[in-house]
């Protein structure tokens, strides 16, 4: 039984925030349930009571973060934009806005990319590709393929963009974030890619 559902939102959120911060800063192995309990204002036994094991809490956070991002994509109706590069830009702006507002989520996501602990590696290997696939399916439509020049590999373009987004995320996590500058760089990159990869009639 998922006992955390018994918690009110008022009591649940401090636990989520403390756990995201702790796992994001220390990684899975060094994160302490005792520290999370202390930071969130609950006892360690109660933390185990509501979330089970440390792994269970990590799994909950992984799914929580994924759901936050998915819900944001759906609310902002990213997929209604007509052009691929407009959808990518809109999705990236939305995502960066969330990560600037909730830096603990950003740090946790980055820690998931870097996680190597065998106890949770199966979680990260499942959640991260699922999240990337959702983003891909949201922004890439079948009709987009016809707009590209012959020989362009759309999947390769998207992989490049995911790597670029990961680089921006690291900048943001290091406290070097200038959202306006990143957005400007992103728009310039999208414009350059569109001009170089699209057939002339779609420019």
Residue 175 has pLDDT above 90, yes or no: no
- Using CA atoms, how far apart are residues 55 and 156, in angstroms rounded to an integer? 34
Residue 1 has pLDDT above 60, yes or no: no
State what percent of residues in the chain have pLDDT above 90. 48
**61 close to 108: Cβ distance less than 8 angstroms:** yes
Taking the CA atoms of 147, 149, 152 and 158 in sequence, report the sign of the dihedral they define. negative
pLDDT of residue 64: 95
CATH number at residue 117: 1.10.357.10
pLDDT of residue 182: 81
Q: Is the pTM of this model over 0.75?
A: yes
State what percent of residues in the chain have pLDDT above 70. 94
> Domain tally for the chain?
1
Query: SS3 breakdown of the chain: % helix, strand, coil, rounded to 5?
Result: 80, 0, 20
Average pLDDT of the chain?
A: 88
Cβ-count burial of 51 within 10 angstroms (0-12 exposed, 13-18 middle, 19+ buried)? Answer: buried
pLDDT tens digits for range 131-163: 888 888 888 888 888 999 999 998 888 888 777
- Using CA atoms, how far apart are residues 66 and 58, in angstroms rounded to an integer? 12
Between 84 and 45, the higher pLDDT residue: 45
pLDDT of residue 120: 98
CA–CA distances in Å: residue 26 to residues 69, 125, 139, 146, 170: 23, 19, 33, 46, 16
pLDDT tens digits for range 72-125: 888 877 766 678 888 888 888 888 888 788 889 988 998 998 999 999 999 999
pLDDT of residue 75: 81
Between 31 and 128, the higher pLDDT residue: 31
CA–CA distances in Å: residue 90 to residues 27, 78, 125, 133, 145: 31, 6, 27, 17, 19
pLDDT of residue 132: 81
Burial 66-99 (b: 16+ CB within 10 A, else e): beebeeebeebebeebebbbebbbbbbbbbbeeb
- The boundaries of the domain holding residue 10 are 3-202
- Using CA atoms, how far apart are residues 181 and 171, in angstroms rounded to an integer? 12
């Amino acid at each position: 039984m998922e006992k955390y559902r018994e918690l009110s939102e008022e009591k649940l959120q401090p636990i989520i925030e403390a756990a995201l911060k702790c796992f994001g800063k220390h990684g899975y192995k060094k994160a302490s349930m005792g520290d999370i309990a202390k930071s969130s204002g609950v006892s360690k036994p109660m933390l185990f009571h509501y979330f089970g094991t440390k792994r269970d809490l990590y799994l909950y956070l992984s799914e929580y973060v994924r759901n936050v991002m998915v819900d944001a994509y759906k609310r902002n109706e990213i997929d209604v934009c007509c052009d691929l590069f407009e959808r990518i830009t809109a999705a990236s702006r939305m995502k960066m806005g969330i990560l600037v507002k909730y830096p603990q989520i950003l740090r946790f996501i980055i820690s998931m990319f870097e996680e190597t602990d065998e106890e949770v590696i199966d979680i990260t290997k499942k959640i991260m590709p699922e999240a990337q696939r959702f983003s891909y399916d949201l922004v890439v439509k079948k009709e987009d393929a016809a707009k590209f020049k012959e020989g362009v590999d759309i999947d390769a373009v998207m992989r490049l963009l995911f790597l670029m987004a990961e680089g921006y995320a690291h900048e943001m996590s290091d406290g070097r974030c200038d959202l306006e500058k990143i957005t400007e760089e992103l728009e310039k990159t999208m414009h350059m890619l569109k001009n170089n990869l699209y057939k002339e009639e779609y420019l």
